[in-house]
Structures are given as structure tokens and as C-alpha cells.
Chains A and B, each alone.
Chain A
Amino acid sequence: MKNIIVILLLSMVCFSCTDLEEMNINPNLPTEAHPQLLLTSVEWEVFRDYGGTSPLYAQKMLVQTDGENSNQYYKWDRGSFDPYSVLRNVSKMIQEAERIENPSYVALGKFFRSYYFYNLTLNFGDVPYTAALKGEVEKEYAPAYDDQEVVFKGILKELAEAEAILASQNTIIAGDIIYGGNVLSWRKLINAFRLKVLMTLSPKSESGEIDFSEFNSIFTSSPLMESEAESGQLVFLDQQNNRYPDFNSSGFSSGMYIDSTFIQRLQVRKDPRLFIYTTQTKSAKEAGKAIDDFSAYQGGDPAAPYAEVNEKATQGNVSKVNDRYHRDPVNEPYKLLGYSEQQLILAEAAVRGWVNADPEMLYKEGVKASFKFYEVYSEEYSSYVDAEAALKYLSEPMNDFSKAMNKEEKIELIVMQKYLQSFFQMQWTSFYDHHRTGTPSFRRPAGVEIPYRWIYPQSEYNFNADNVTSAITKQFGAGNDNIHQMTWWIK
């Protein structure tokens, strides 16, 4: 009896003699993955990255009436390094692709890297690039910053490499939710993006720092998008977690109105996209005005104190964002880079003499493509933006390319068309176009200057202090990390 009990007691202690190490293997999650699984999540992030409403306030499309919007009044301070977080998954995708020796994913990885570093360097100036994203593999936890010039050149190089790799591939890329794995479509998008990067650097066209002959060689010898259907865009689905990001968003129902400068720009050009972007004012609607009555739309002054705009809105005289942006579960796709934008970039290049092409034809194709996009995706309004409407629109004196007298006027027309199609699309493209070409102009209170950039994130101040300090000192002088400093590309 006694012994039995002692044995029993002792055996209880060794109750479960399983291997401790084995127990700590996570049964819920994998440690290795096919790059296609990463591609899907990266694409989902990249193509949904429209910048939120911030660029819409800064680009004079929205005004806020229940608080001072720092973008609207150009009072922003710090920017964010969040893109590096998506780039982590891009790096892992490249790693997994190298493991299974599938170069297509490496090529797409280079494209996504270029896309994010392009945005990052425009936002801040110098950013960590060559030393970046090596936290896991090389234990580089506080990467050094690269000159903006180095970043831009690196982007162009990576994009060229991506095109070169894909040119030699012909298998379907699995996990691709944008083009269904079509390699040629990807090459077209990547090449179009190369054009966009080079066009962004137009202020450098005289200095010789950048080789602009690449633009023409892409135009003449690389595949480019040939129709609106080939745009690089993400189509939303009416399924949980796949819906349009602003679907059901409360923000649209109160406090968010349309900027008067945006409405006026659409009105004076007789631009029917006005009806698709915005609602009639309450008073116009009550007066029974037709949807296509341009006088039924009004905006709020982005330069006035917001309480004043609120007053005007209270009177029912300010338009809001069209309901479809928050009521339609799929609304419209987000375009990372569309055929329309590509044609407008080419039109500008033609005006600048970078390529030998007819700018007017390219301009018209760009505008028609934008109309086509809304004809397809905003069915309720398609009759306002069909092919006929596009032709009529292009013949309006203000939109008629043949009436533009000189290079400046032509570029203004072209860049304005990019702006007019960037409502809830294209991120900060028009903001940088403004700094590059002066078009479009941005209304603001007296004495307020338009910033060039954002202050580096507090996290860099806290966790990469030495490197960010030297980047600041080198670019702007000690302690001069402020939003009104110009960076290399615009100088």
C-alpha cells in the first residue's frame, strides 16, 4: 500500500513527459510560404494605397467642417514610415521566390519596392534605401539614409531590371489578383511606372543628373498599356474584407464637403465627372435641379475658417462626396496607374520633346480613357460620360488642346486632366505635379505656403537618431527638419 502511494505520487509529477521544445512549435501558423501567398497580400496593400482623404484635402477637393483639417490648411507635421511595413512582405516574397527559384516574383518585388520608395522619397527627401529592410537578414536595425538622387536612380534601375526579368518569363504568375498572372500586362504597367518616375524628375531635365533618353527608349521599344482595360487597378468585391475601403464609412455622412475650387474647375470645363464625384447641394436638390445642371453644385472655400464653410453647408449650399463612395460596396477600382494617366504622361513628354508623338492625340486618349473608366464603373451615371460626352467635353474651348498656344499652356492642360481624374485615386500625384509644373494651383489662406514634404517620423527620432540627424543636417541644416524645406528632386 505504502509503496503504491509513493509511486503514484512520484509519477504524478512526471505527468506529461512530452518534449518541451516540440510543444513550442506553433500549430496555427506556417513558417514557410510560397511567394504567391505574399504576392496576394502585397498587391492588396499596394493597390489599396490611395492615401486616404489626406491628399484630397491638400489637393483642394475636400473641405472639413467639424474641425480644422491639417491637410486642408497645410499645417501637417510628421509623416509616416508605414510603407516599410508593406515592403517587409515584399522582401519576404523576394526571399521565398529566390528559395524556389521563381524570378517572376523577384521582378514584381522590384516593382513594388520602386513604387514605395518613390512615394517615400517624395514624402521626405533622403530615406533609408540601400540599407533598408535588412532587419531580419542582416540585423540592420537602424539603417543609414541615402540621398534622394541615389534613391531615384535605384528605383529606375530596379524597374529596368524588373522589366528585363519579366521579358524572359512566360509562365502565369500565381496569386496575382491584378492581372490574373499575365506577364505582359505586368511589363506594361511597370514600363508605364518607369515613365511616371522619369516624368516626376522633369525639374532635373536640364541638369544632366538623370538620363532622360531612357524615356524614349521605353516609349519606342517596350510594351505599354494600350487601353483602359489594361490599367493597373484593384477591383473590389462584395464580400467581407474585400469591399471598397470607404464602404459604410461614417466620415462621409458628416463634416466632409467638397472644395469650391474643385467644383469650379469642373464647372468651368463643363466636366460631367462632377456629377459622379459629388452630390448636388441640398438647396439645389430641393429646388428640383437636374443632375447634369452644373449650377446645382457648389463647394466650400478651403481657405476660410472651417466654421464659415460649416455655416454655408448649414444653409444647404455645399455639395458632398457622391454617396456611391460610401454606399456602394464595390464602387470603383483603385488605380495604381491607369492607361489614362500613362497617356497624359506621354502627352507631356511629347510636348517636352522627350518623345516623338502627337501630344494632342495622347491628351485626347487620356481624357477619353478616364471617361471610359467612369462609364464602366459608375453605371448610374454612365450616360453622362459615354464616348459622345467625352468628345463633346474635349471640344469645349477650355479643354481643346489645339487652342493651347505654347508649351506651358499645353502642359497645364495635360496636368490639369490628371488632376481632374484623381478624386479618390492617384494619391499625391497632383500635389507633386503642382510643385513640378505649378498646375494645379492650390487655394489657401493668405500667408500660408504649400509645404514640400513631411517631418521625419518621431520613431526615427527615437530609434534611428544618428542617421536621421545626419540626413537632416546634410539636406536642410541642423534641426531644420520642417515641411517647407525643398528636397533634391524639386530644386
Chain B
Amino acid sequence: MHEHSGEPHTSNRFYVAIAVILAVLTAMEVMVFYVEALRPILVPLLMLMMAAKFALVVMFFMHLKFDGPLLTGIFSWGLFIAVAIIVALMALFGKFSA
């Protein structure tokens, strides 16, 4: 059983705040897509915002920030190897060469 009530990170208001941030980030992502002037930095900007949304959901909605390090380790390792494979395969298929 969790001891949950009363902590600031578990109030409904907190969750709604996170949801608002997620919505704003999504809107920003779409805006970046439509603004031509940002094209040169589109990819890094999008990656950043995507990562931010990802982290917010995992840390707060999935409560990982407040659970023990074991669960973070399990998730992080899965994520790390997955990203490494994505990057390695993309490199092997020439996606990072000019």
C-alpha cells in the first residue's frame, strides 16, 4: 500500500498541471513544424520536446521519480539498449552520413 495522500506530487491539481504542460509542449512541437525559419534546428528542438514529454509522463504519471532506484534502473536499461540499437542500426544504414 502506498502512503500517498497529502503529498504535493500526487494531488489532482498537480496532475492537471503536468497535463497542461504536455498539451503546451505538443502545441509547441506542431508550431515548430510549421515555422519555416526554424527548419535548420527542427530536429534537435523536436527531440528535446519529445524527450521532455516522455520524461514528464514517466516520472510523474508513472510515478517513477518517487519509486525506488530499481524500477528506474529496469526501465532505463531497457530504454538505453533500445535507443542504442536504433542509433546503431541507423548508423549502419547510413542515416548519419552526408
Asked if A pairs with B, the answer is: no
Query: Taking beta carbons and an 8 Å cutoff, which residues of A are in contact with B?
Result: none
Query: Taking beta carbons and an 8 Å cutoff, which residues of B are in contact with A?
Result: none
